[in-house]
Amino acid sequence: MLPLIDTHIHLDAPELSGNGFALVAEAVAQGIGTFIVPGVRTAGWLPLLQQAEQHAEVLLAPGLHPAYADQWSPAAAAELVRMSQHHKVVAIGEIGLDGVCGPALERQETVFRAQLQIALEAGLPVLLHGRKATGRLLEILRELQIGQQAGGSWHGFSGSLPVAQELVRLGFKVGVGPILLRTSARKLPRAVVELPLESLLLETDLPDMAEQPEALLAVARKVAELRGCTLAEVVEVTTTTACELFGIDGMIL
């Protein structure tokens, strides 16, 4: 069986007290081959790069989370452009709009658009973060045709089937995480069943949504159970989708 790819995992999260990258070896033994770590704050970008250089399985999606949009500056933009050229960088993320945290949405949108532009210029896909701003996010994606030009994933998706279908139409993948495992989850299971398997990516969003990287296996099993297919099929298709989107070659697997 192919290894799984965790398309959104915060191995550098302060909650992990510097021990996040130590989780990689055990997770690899469990069948998770690649970890895509998104950026959140500017101060995290360089340490992430250093960690990624020491861990063959770790790839990066540096970017500024909308909650930290106030950290955006010409220097940050220049640094992100530089990072976008690094061979370990496979996406720009996580970027988007957050209607709950961070500065005013207008400011967030300016920073989001600037980062989308960097992704387009670098030819990289994006990892999207959207909370309580879905309509506006979709408008921007439509206007700039990001999905068609760069592609990407809407990480931690929890929305309705029509929104998921619109994302797929716009050229995006739907990031499925541990929300799927909640007994209270209603909308996400429906989307997971109705969408083509080729439009799904798997993620843990650790440490917010999971405590161990192995939670990815539980998410994959749940997708298989809901769709009535085998775990092997889910792994094969989602790993292939992630490899294509992020330009991961067989070497790393």
Using the rule CB under 5 A, give the single segment among 48-56, 91-99, 160-168, 232-240 that binds Zn ion: 91-99
User: What would the 3-class secondary structure string for 16-69 be?
Assistant: HCCCHHHHHHHHHHCCEEEEEEECCCHHHHHHHHHHHHHCCCEEEECCCCHHHH
CB of 70 to Zn ion, least distance (A): 18
* CB closer to Zn ion out of 6 and 94: 94
- Residue 69: which residues within 8 A CB-CB, separation 6 or more? 102, 103, 107, 108, 110, 111, 112
* CB closer to Zn ion out of 94 and 109: 94
- Give 200's strand partners: 174
* CB closer to Zn ion out of 89 and 237: 89
* First CA to last CA distance, the chain: 11
| Size of residue set near Zn ion by CB under 5 A | 1
* CB closer to Zn ion out of 12 and 57: 12
Q: Which is nearest to 124 in space by CA: 83, 64, 154?
A: 83
Using the rule CB under 5 A, give the single segment among 43-51, 87-95, 105-113, 227-235 that binds Zn ion: 87-95
Residue type, 198: E
Using the rule CB under 5 A, give the single segment among 93-101, 136-144, 165-173, 226-234 that binds Zn ion: 93-101
Residues 104-133 touching Zn ion, rule: CB under 5 A, are none
Per-residue string for binding with Zn ion, 153-192, x by CB under 5 A?
A: ----------------------------------------
Using the rule CB under 5 A, give the single segment among 25-33, 81-89, 92-100, 117-125 that binds Zn ion: 92-100
- CA gap 183, 144 in Å, rounded: 37
Per-residue string for binding with Zn ion, 18-57, x by CB under 5 A?
A: ----------------------------------------
Buried b (16+ CB within 10 A) or exposed e, 70-105: eebeeebbeebeebbeeebbbbbbbbbbbeeebbeb
Does residue 217 contact residue 190 with C-beta atoms inside 8 Å? no
CB of 1 to Zn ion, least distance (A): 27
Using the rule CB under 5 A, give the single segment among 27-35, 89-97, 187-195, 237-245 that binds Zn ion: 89-97
* CB closer to Zn ion out of 205 and 214: 205
Q: Which is nearest to 92 in space by CA: 50, 71, 121, 53?
A: 121
Quote the tokens at residue 222: 């749940």
* CB closer to Zn ion out of 57 and 94: 94
* CB closer to Zn ion out of 37 and 237: 37
CB of 10 to Zn ion, least distance (A): 6
Residue type, 169: R
- CA gap 179, 235 in Å, rounded: 18
Residues that bind Zn ion (CB under 5 A): 94
